[in-house]
């Protein structure tokens, strides 16, 4: 079924309290990152329960909705329906309110808002830069060839003009005019001014004040500091100036004040801070690359879960600016491949189709740098695979540290980004990610996953698995009769084994033994005399306690709770006493199928453990009243 991104987007926005409750919205590779005005208006459980949402994470002052690879489609749908987006007015307007929360949370929020919008461009240019380096090293290209010059310009221009991109994203975050911010960044990179500074020996005067001219290409911190101060100046000027002259006088005064101030103050100060940051990282790395790699390999995905990884982003970019290479990102790559390997281990070990349907694509996605589907859909859900993946990541990270490998550009660790790490230690770096991937897969296969209930039930949130919750609510204590019991079919249709149902909550037998029917007639009948213990508001699931004590769950279709009662009509209420053959409900088979839902209907004895066994008695077509199950005392 083709996903309805428009509907998912509307549901997500409604779940966070509506458009009016959103200060800002950006997205990264897998997440929608909301900054909310009032957290109490957001319903985390409601958002997590949406089909298409993997998980909700609250970190760094953000309400992060994990979507996976299709996040950009959902984001575009939201932008189309609302005024939200990374270029919306709310982004800047929210800055003052963004002061709520701890200093750490505000810092993480600022970093993620500034760097998230350009990650795709950074990754693409980084991969191209790596490929060009490989072609140059292997002699396919030479520095004098036109082909090399064009490709080098395409890959290197983003890093040279990085202050311009950061000026745009910083302006959006801080509520400044992005076009004036670009002019500010342009002045730092203006060729004639740079040439003049070199002619003057690196310094010259502005109104008698010395200006120390540096190289701000690829720099990060100076422009962010400058745009932040610019945003405050802009707000001050807009408050002072009359609206009739504000449009042109505010930009004029900002340029006259901020360009010299940036060259005199923020440029040199930012350069010093960049140097401190680079030196601090280098001192830690040089103390023991192996220990540094092991630490980051183990804990990197933990940082990702809580959104704390954004605090490390400036380190990698700053290393490239200062040193021209970055060893930090090389330490992280094994952690990414390890989680993909752990997902592969689950895929290979599980015999459940639904688990495989999640784990397989998640493993492939992880190999290309997107680990959220693997983490939230597989490894973290079952706990042990995540822990074993982290351990394997630590082993791989230690090897990467020993290799002293480094990245030539910014890139998301993935198979596609391997050329970025081409250079010293590349061979051993490749070994590190291979070891991390296969070690995680093997450990998970041997020790990290089983299909049994005890391995997975604690990790399935009640609010995100309504079908499982329904089955549990139906189950209760019972009085068992002394004779074997025959259970009649409540439907007309084709019988299929329960293990073939495409829903692990049922096919695993976790909720009890039983059978399933694919109905050909939209009528559900009582299979025995008893009491209706449960009639769900969505009218898709019914619980019956037979007079004999057996308790049944009849669940019409899979995931049909999402229809919220549409196409269903109940003829009984909870607490009603019913007789065998009584009509319990009607449903529109055609409409439900057209909506994209599987009509396989599990019939489960939820108190299976009170009996010796529950056996299916029919493997063909059944009519209402035909014997379908036998309960063995």
- Written as one string, the DSSP assignment of 41-91 is G--HHHHHTSTT--EEEEETTEEEEE--TTHHHHHHHHHHHSS-STTSHHH
Looking at the structure, do residues 422 and 500 belong to the same domain, yes or no?
Answer: no
Quote the pLDDT of residue 562: 79
**In this structure, are residues 319 and 220 in contact, taking their beta carbons and an 8 Å threshold?**
no
Residue 46 belongs to some domain of the structure: yes
Per-residue exposure over 52-82, b if at least 16 CB sit within 10 Å of its own CB, e if not: bbbbbbbbbbbbbbbbbeebbbbbebbbeeb
CATH number, domain containing residue 537: 2.70.70.10
**In this structure, are residues 386 and 380 in contact, taking their beta carbons and an 8 Å threshold?**
yes
Residue 136 belongs to some domain of the structure: no
Number of domains the chain contains: 4
Looking at the structure, do residues 470 and 615 belong to the same domain, yes or no?
Answer: yes
Angle (nearest 5°) at CA 455 between 363 and 497: 85
Quote the pLDDT of residue 227: 94
3-state SS assignment for residue 383? coil
Catalytically active residues are 28
242: which residues sit within 8 A by CB, 6+ positions away?
Answer: none
Quote the pLDDT of residue 233: 93
The residue from 457, 474, 490 where one domain ends is: 457
Nearest to 400 by CA among 426, 423, 418: 426
Looking at the structure, do residues 330 and 433 belong to the same domain, yes or no?
Answer: yes
Looking at the structure, do residues 268 and 351 belong to the same domain, yes or no?
Answer: no
The residue from 457, 486, 509 where one domain ends is: 457
130: which residues sit within 8 A by CB, 6+ positions away?
Answer: 408, 409, 411, 417, 418, 419, 420, 421, 422
Looking at the structure, do residues 494 and 409 belong to the same domain, yes or no?
Answer: no
Looking at the structure, do residues 452 and 469 belong to the same domain, yes or no?
Answer: no
469: which residues sit within 8 A by CB, 6+ positions away?
Answer: 462, 463
Residue 94 belongs to some domain of the structure: no
**In this structure, are residues 527 and 579 in contact, taking their beta carbons and an 8 Å threshold?**
no
Looking at the structure, do residues 550 and 435 belong to the same domain, yes or no?
Answer: no
* Domain span including residue 183: 161-277
Query: CA-CA distance, 448 to 360, in Å (whole number)?
Result: 16
Neighbours of 293 (CB within 10 A): 33
Residue 121 belongs to some domain of the structure: no
Quote the pLDDT of residue 458: 41
- Helix, strand, coil percentages, rounded to 5, for the chain: 55, 15, 30
Which strands form 627-632's sheet, in the order they lie side by side? 485-488, 627-632, 613-616
Query: CA-CA distance, 121 to 164, in Å (whole number)?
Result: 13
Quote the pLDDT of residue 454: 33
Q: What is the 3-state secondary structure (H, E, C) of 591-618?
A: HHHHCCCCCCEEEEECCHHHCCEEEECC
3-state SS assignment for residue 485? strand
Looking at the structure, do residues 449 and 510 belong to the same domain, yes or no?
Answer: no
Residue 380 belongs to some domain of the structure: yes
Rg of the Cα atoms in the chain: 30
Looking at the structure, do residues 267 and 412 belong to the same domain, yes or no?
Answer: no
Distances (CA, A) of 175 to 18, 36, 455: 22, 16, 48
Long-range CB pairs of 234-238 (<8 Å, 24+ gap) are 234/175, 234/176, 234/177, 234/180, 235/175
Look at the chain and count its residues.
633
Query: CA-CA distance, 604 to 505, in Å (whole number)?
Result: 11
| Residue numbers of the chain with a pLDDT score lower than 50 | 1, 86-100, 453-482
Looking at the structure, do residues 319 and 270 belong to the same domain, yes or no?
Answer: no
602: which residues sit within 8 A by CB, 6+ positions away?
Answer: 498, 501, 503, 506, 514, 515, 516, 553, 554, 555
3-state SS assignment for residue 244? helix
3-state SS assignment for residue 207? coil
The helix (H) or strand (E) run that includes residue 523 is strand 523-525
Q: Look at the block and give the residue holding tokens 């770096």.
A: 429
510: which residues sit within 8 A by CB, 6+ positions away?
Answer: 453, 456, 457, 468, 504
Residue 583 belongs to some domain of the structure: yes
**In this structure, are residues 341 and 444 in contact, taking their beta carbons and an 8 Å threshold?**
yes
Nearest to 448 by CA among 387, 390, 400: 387
CATH number, domain containing residue 56: 3.30.1360.60
Backbone angles phi, psi at 201, to 5 degrees: 80, 20
Per-residue exposure over 184-210, b if at least 16 CB sit within 10 Å of its own CB, e if not: bbebbbeeebbeebeeeeeeeeeeeee
Query: CA-CA distance, 321 to 332, in Å (whole number)?
Result: 19
Residue 137 belongs to some domain of the structure: no
pTM of the model: 0.52
Looking at the structure, do residues 619 and 471 belong to the same domain, yes or no?
Answer: yes
Residue 559 belongs to some domain of the structure: yes
The residue from 39, 60, 88 where one domain ends is: 88
**In this structure, are residues 415 and 337 in contact, taking their beta carbons and an 8 Å threshold?**
no
Looking at the structure, do residues 593 and 544 belong to the same domain, yes or no?
Answer: yes
Quote the pLDDT of residue 532: 94
């Amino acid at each position: 079924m083709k996903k309805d991104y428009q509907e998912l987007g509307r549901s997500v926005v409604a779940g966070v309290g509506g458009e009016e409750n959103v200060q800002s919205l950006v997205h990264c590779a897998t997440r929608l990152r909301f900054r909310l005005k009032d957290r109490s208006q957001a319903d985390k459980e409601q958002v997590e329960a949406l089909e298409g949402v993997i998980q909700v994470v609250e970190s760094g002052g953000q309400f992060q909705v994990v979507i996976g690879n299709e996040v950009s489609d959902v984001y575009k749908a939201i932008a189309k329906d609302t005024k939200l987006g990374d270029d919306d007015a709310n982004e800047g307007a929210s800055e003052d309110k963004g002061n709520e929360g701890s200093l750490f949370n505000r810092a993480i929020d600022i970093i993620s808002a500034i760097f998230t919008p350009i990650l795709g461009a950074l990754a693409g240019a980084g991969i191209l830069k790596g490929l060009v380096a490989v072609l140059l090293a292997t002699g396919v290209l030479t520095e004098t060839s036109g082909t090399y010059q064009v490709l080098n310009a395409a890959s290197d221009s983003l890093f040279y003009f990085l202050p311009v991109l950061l000026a745009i994203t910083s302006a959006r975050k801080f509520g400044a005019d992005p076009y004036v911010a670009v002019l500010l960044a342009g002045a730092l990179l203006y060729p004639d001014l740079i040439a003049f500074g070199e002619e003057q020996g690196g310094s010259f005067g502005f109104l008698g004040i010395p200006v120390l001219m540096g190289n701000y290409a690829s720099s990060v911190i100076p422009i962010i500091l400058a745009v932040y101060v610019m945003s405050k100046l802009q707000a001050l000027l807009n408050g002072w100036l009359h609206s009739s002259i504000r449009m042109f006088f505010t930009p004029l005064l900002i340029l006259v004040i901020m360009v010299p101030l940036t060259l005199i103050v923020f440029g040199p100060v930012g350069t010093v801070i960049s140097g401190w940051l680079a030196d601090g990282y280098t001192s830690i790395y040089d103390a023991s690359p192996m220990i540094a790699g092991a630490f980051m390999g183990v804990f990197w995905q933990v940082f990702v879960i809580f959104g704390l990884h954004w605090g490390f982003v400036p380190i990698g970019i700053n290393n490239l600016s200062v040193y021209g290479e970055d060893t930090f990102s090389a330490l992280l790559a094994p952690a990414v491949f390890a989680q993909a390997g752990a997902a592969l281990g689950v895929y290979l070990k599980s015999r459940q189709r639904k688990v495989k349907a999640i784990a397989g694509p998640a493993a492939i996605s992880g190999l290309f740098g997107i680990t959220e589907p693997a983490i939230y859909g597989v490894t973290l859900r079952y706990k042990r695979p995540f822990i074993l993946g982290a351990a394997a990541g630590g082993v791989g990270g230690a090897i990467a540290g020993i290799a002293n490998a480094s990245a030539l550009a910014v890139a998301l660790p993935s198979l596609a980004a391997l050329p970025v790490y081409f250079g010293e230690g590349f061979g051993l770096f490749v070994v590190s990610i291979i070891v991390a991937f296969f070690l995680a897969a093997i450990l998970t296969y041997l020790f990290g996953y089983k299909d049994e209930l005890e391995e997975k039930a604690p990790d399935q949130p009640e609010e995100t698995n309504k079908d499982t919750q329904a089955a549990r609510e139906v189950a209760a204590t019972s009085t068992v009769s002394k004779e074997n019991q025959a259970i009649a079919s409540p439907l007309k249709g084709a019988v299929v084994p329960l293990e073939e149902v495409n829903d692990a909550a049922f096919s695993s037998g976790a909720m009890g033994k039983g059978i399933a029917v694919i109905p050909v007639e939209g009528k559900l009948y009582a299979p025995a005399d008893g009491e209706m213990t449960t009639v769900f508001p969505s009218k898709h699931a019914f619980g019956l306690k037979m007079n004999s004590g057996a308790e049944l769950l009849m669940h019409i279709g899979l995931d049909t709770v999402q229809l919220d009662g549409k196409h269903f009509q109940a003829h009984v209420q909870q607490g009603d006493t019913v007789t065998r053959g009584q009509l319990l409900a009607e449903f529109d088979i055609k409409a439900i199928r057209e909506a994209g839902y599987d009509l396989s209907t599990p019939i489960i004895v939820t108190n299976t453990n009170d009996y010796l066994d529950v056996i299916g008695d029919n493997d063909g077509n059944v009519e209402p009243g035909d014997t379908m199950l036998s309960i063995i005392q």
